[in-house]
Structures are given as C-alpha cells and as structure tokens.
C-alpha cells in the first residue's frame, strides 16, 4: 500500500498496516503528529474505513466537530489498530460495511 502524498520516513525501521473506522455520524480528521519529519492527515467520513501504513510508535489523533472548529476527541496507539493478516483486513471491511448500513 503506497502512501503517495507523504511516505513514511525512510529512516524508520519498519511499518505496520492499520485500520480505523469512523463509527460516528460526524466527519472526523485523523492525524499523526508524534513522528518527526512526517505529516499524516486524512478526512474520515461517517462509516468510512481508513487503512494506512505507519510506524508502530505512532499515535492517531481523532478530531471531530463542526465546520469552523475541531476538538481532539481521542488519541489511539496505532499498534492497537494494526492489522496482522489478510483475514483481519477482510473482517475490517465487513465491520465497515455494517457501520455504513446502520448509519443509513
């Protein structure tokens, strides 16, 4: 999985593949700010699944709020979001589709 916009720093010893699902009814901003020389920020829509690569020590910040403001609502260790194998990716996709169908 290539991250075209801003790749993981080349001096990182390894990376993990992570999955985050926005299970709320609000648009969220997902950010990683604790890794030097690396910028990661994505918009995550309600019910959307975000799969991304990062280093194990990264912390995913979840910001949510209204149009002109955003509040840090959660900080999650990316190692707890790590997908270990292809089966977990399939399970994450299934969970995301359940969240999407219940949000409608």
* pLDDT (tens digit per residue) in 32-61: 999 988 889 999 999 999 999 999 899 999
> What is the Cα–Cα distance from 61 to 63, expressed in whole angstroms?
6
* SS3 of the chain: helix, strand, coil, percent, to 5: 20, 35, 45
Query: What Rg do the C-alpha atoms of the chain give, in angstroms?
Result: 14
* pLDDT (tens digit per residue) in 53-97: 999 899 999 999 766 677 888 888 888 888 875 566 666 666 666
pLDDT value at residue 65: 76
The residues, ordered by sequence, that sit 6+ positions from 64 with a Cβ below 8 Å of its Cβ are 24, 26, 27, 28, 29, 70, 71, 73
CATH 2.60.40 for domain 16-103: yes
Parse the chain into domains and list their residue ranges: 16-103
The residues, ordered by sequence, that sit 6+ positions from 86 with a Cβ below 8 Å of its Cβ are none
Task: Give the per-residue SS3 of 42-85.
Answer: EEECCCCEEEEEECCCCEEEEEECCCCCCEEEEEEEHHHHECCC
């Amino acid at each position: 999985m290539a991250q075209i916009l801003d790749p993981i720093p080349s001096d990182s010893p390894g990376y993990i593949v992570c999955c985050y699902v926005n299970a709320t009814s609000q648009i969220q901003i997902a950010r990683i700010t604790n890794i030097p020389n690396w910028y990661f920020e994505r918009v995550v829509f309600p019910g959307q699944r975000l799969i991304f690569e990062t280093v194990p020590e990264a912390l995913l910040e979840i910001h949510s709020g209204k149009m002109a403001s955003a509040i840090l609502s959660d900080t999650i260790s990316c190692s707890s979001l790590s997908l270990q194998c292809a089966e977990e990716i399939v399970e994450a996709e299934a969970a995301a589709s359940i969240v999407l169908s219940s949000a409608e």
